[in-house]
Amino acid sequence: MRIHNVTVPNNFNLFCFGDVHEGTFAKVDEGWRMCLDMLGEEYEGVKHNIAVDHGDIIESVSVDHPHYDGITTEGNVYQQMQTAMKDRWPLRKKFAVIMDGNHPMRFWKFFGPGKPALTETVCNDLGVKYGGFVAVLNYVDKKGKRMFGHYITHPTRGSMSSRVDDPKRRKLNLKLAVKKKLRDQVGDCILMSVGHFHKLVYCEPEQELYMENDGEKLHSRYTAPRKTQGFIHPDHRHYLCTGSFHRTFGDGYDTYAEMAGYNPVELGFYIVRVRDRAIEGIDEIII
């Protein structure tokens, strides 16, 4: 795990996205361009934007890989790396960190161990911090005082799905699955996010009613996040699965997601609105 401190103002927007998969025809390029455009502009009255890229920046399918068909991918791995770097270059100073992913990991034997990983090589060229597969970001002010912590991961295996029939129950199950996957990792982070699963899921903090007394009468109160330091109760954290820019279905061709029988997924990303040093809200951007 890597730990990075990121200096930010009291008000900023945190763009949480990932799984661009540069080099596949299933990549939704117009959605990716929209994300980059928004990152470079003012959002909700605040100009300062920070990006956390949750990994799988390239498709990284070599000719000897089962997914390679010579049709649905374009460019060799080096070309994909160059395009990924070119896309991010104009906004490189806005990237707090770029995570690794299971797709670039396919070329681990060429880039590591003992050498920079594929994603790390792109990060070094951009001058952006490399997050590896698990990282913690501490957002701090100019004096180095911590505002809040952010746990980030891109796992290399596992799945996240729900097969219940009712759509409301299915959405709730996915929220609980994201929370269950992240809640026991780092206990002092109020924001916890994961890439890899190609789903847009936000599990918000939950308030519960409780009673307290003032020595004479009982009063009703609700639990709520009241601190950002030390252990934060799991029910008081924000959990994100950050979506993707990779379509399940192809136009005139079959993607490997189709061939595996995966269901269609919403594409997009999240913008975390930080105001007065705290998370004010999280917006879901569907592309």
Note the pLDDT tens digit of each residue in 85-128.
Answer: 999 999 999 999 999 999 999 888 788 677 889 999 999 999 99
Positions in the chain whose pLDDT score sits under 70: 112, 226-228
Distance CA 191, CA 172 (A): 19
Query: Residue 226's pLDDT is what?
Result: 67
In order of start, what are the domains of the chain with their CATH numbers? 2-286 (3.60.21)
Supply the DSSP string of 167-236, one letter for each residue. Answer: HHHHHHHHHHHHHHHHTTS-TT-SEEEE-SS--EEEE-----EEEEE-SS-EEEEE-----SSS---GGG
Query: Residue 269's pLDDT is what?
Result: 98
Tokens coding 282 = 């999280």
Placement of tokens 């890899």 in the chain: 196
Query: Residue 167's pLDDT is what?
Result: 86
Element (H, E) at 110: helix 108-111
Query: Residue 68's pLDDT is what?
Result: 72
pLDDT digits (tens, 9 = 90+) for 168-202: 998 999 999 999 999 999 999 999 999 999 999 99
Sign of the torsion angle spanned by Cα atoms 32, 44, 15, 272:
negative
List b or e across 270-286, with b for residues whose CB sees 16 or more CB atoms inside 10 angstroms.
bbbbbeebebeebeebe
Query: Residue 228's pLDDT is what?
Result: 67
